[in-house]
Structures are given as structure tokens and as C-alpha cells.
Amino acid sequence: MKVLIINGSPKSKNSETLKLTKTFVSGMDVKAKEIDTINCDIRPCLGCYKCWKKESRKCCVNDDMHKILRKMKDSDVIIWSTPLFCYSVPSTMKALLDRMTSLLAPEIVELSDGSKSYPAIDAFNAKHVLISGSPLPEADNCFDAIKFQFKHMFGEDIEMILCSENKLFNITGAQTVANEYLKTIEKAGKEFVEFGHILRETHEKLAEPMLPTDIYIESVNSNVTPNSDTDN
Ligand SMILES: Cc1cc2nc3c(=O)[nH]c(=O)nc-3n(C[C@H](O)[C@H](O)[C@H](O)COP(=O)(O)O)c2cc1C
């Protein structure tokens, strides 16, 4: 099984979200390739639609996106690993999503769910997984925009692990609950390979807050220490 992680965190390998993703992948028991969008040359879509007029569909912007699309097409599973930025994804991952416009057809059609849109003509065979993190407690509504975006781009059957309270992974004293959550993510990865999807009870467990809101806020706020202005 060819698995590709697309990591949108500007923190690259130090991303907290990537830790969750790596745990999911270890549950899948596979080796995954990784693209860190911050380290790639992905320039913005120019909105020129020249790609739609060419038989090759090739975008006129010459950068890493061509190689990235080839890797995506060659994958069985694509895992979108991203922190929540302004209710969506960081700008380098957004640039990548915009540049996927070259894969759409220019004629508007009615899709299977009744909505009208540009259909994907060069869709990947890959299954998609979205793993995202937010430091806010009970942040379910914070994920509304990203859920909408990814379901519309990659279909209703995309698997999603949306982790609120993600500051807990860095708080000494919260290790027991954090480790419990990671174990559940690992189980989700195993189920994804075994059944082709994450089981409902595992999703429900992942959606539960790791700590009651007031205790979470107290733990996070008591760990905030301001740096001096001379620090980078
Ligand atoms: C520019 C910026 C925008 C952010 N926007 C949101 C947001 O809309 N909602 C939210 O819950 N957290 C937001 N955050 C917090 C990030 O989600 C948090 O830092 C992230 O989970 C860290 O993950 P990472 O280590 O994988 O990069 C934002 C952070 C930054 C730097």
C-alpha cells in the first residue's frame, strides 16, 4: 500500500499534528512517503485556466507541483496532515489545493449528490484521510470550514481525525490522557487498513474531549510563560 503524507505545518518535522499522523501510520503498519509543503516550491495558482485549454492539462507554472501531482497519483492513500489555520489550512497547503484545479473539467455538471460543480477528470484512485489539530477545547465548530472544504474536494467518504485540545500533548502531567488518545489513533490506523475505514466507536472515542474543558483551560493557561522581546 503506497501512503503519502502531505504535511501542511510550517513547523515541518516538529509539527504536533504530524505526531498524530505518524501514530496513525504506525497503526497502519506501513512505510509512508512525506511531502512537507513548507519546504516545497509551490507557487500560487494564477487563475489563468490555461491548464483547462491544454490536452496535457499541464499548469503553466513551473515548480514542484508537477512532481507532487505525480506522487499523489501514484498513491493508494493520501493523508492530509495539517494544523488548523484561520479555520482552514496553512497557506502553503492551500496553494497546493488551489493548484489541483488543473485536474478539473471546465464544464459544470450535476454531481452524484445533486450539487453542481466542475467534475474531476483526472481524479486519483487514492483514499483520503484528513488529520488536523487545534489547541481550543471542544473545538468541533472550529473544524466546520475545513470539514466542508475537504468533503467537497475529496468526497463524503474521506476519513477525518480532528483533534481539539492538542496542547495537552506538551503538558507534563497530561501524559496519561494524551497517551490514551494516541493509542486510539493507532487503533484507527489499524482499522483503516483492516476494514477500509475507521470504526464508529473509535471515531466517537476520538471526538471525546481528553479533559473536561475547565481543567484543560487551567492546565494550558498555567503553562503559558511569555518570552522576553529579545527572544526569536
Ligand atoms: C497563523 C495561525 C492561525 C491559526 N488559526 C487557528 C484557528 O483558526 N483555529 C484554531 O483552533 N487554532 C488556530 N491556530 C493554532 C494552531 O492550530 C496550532 O498552533 C496548531 O495546532 C499547531 O500544530 P502544528 O504543531 O502541527 O503546526 C492558528 C495558529 C497560527 C500560527
User: Model confidence over 206-222: pLDDT tens digits?
Assistant: 999 888 888 888 888 98
Whether residue 84 has its Cβ less than 6 Å from ligand 1? yes
Dump pLDDT digits (tens) for 43-67: 999 999 999 998 888 899 999 999 9
- Ligand 1 centroid to residue 86 C-alpha, Å: 7
Residues 87-104 have pLDDT tens digits of 999 999 999 999 999 888
Distance CA 211, CA 138 (A): 10
Instruction: State whether the beta carbon of 166 lies less than 6 angstroms from ligand 1.
Output: yes
Radius of gyration of the chain (CA): 19
The pLDDT of 8-28, averaged and rounded, is: 97
Position 24: which residue type? F
With 0.75 as the threshold, say if the pTM is over it.
yes
Tell me if 7 CB under 6 Å of ligand 1.
Answer: no
Tell me the pLDDT band of 228, cut-offs 50, 70 and 90: low
Q: Alpha-carbon distance 199 to 184, whole Å?
A: 11
Q: Is the pLDDT of residue 35 over 90?
A: yes
CATH number, domain 3-221: 3.40.50.360
For the CA of 164, the nearest atom of ligand 1? 11
Can you tell me the distance from the alpha carbon of 151 to that of 154, in angstroms, rounded to the nearest whole number? Answer: 5
Distance 162 CA to ligand 1 centre (A): 13
Rounded Cα gap, residues 18 and 7, in angstroms: 7
Task: Confirm if 51 and 58 have CB atoms less than 8 A apart.
Answer: yes
In sequence order, the 6+-apart residues with CB closer than 8 A to the CB of 33 are: 2, 3, 4, 5, 71, 75
Q: Ligand 1 in contact with 85 (CB < 6 A)?
A: yes
Domain ranges of the chain: 3-221
Mean pLDDT of 140-155: 89
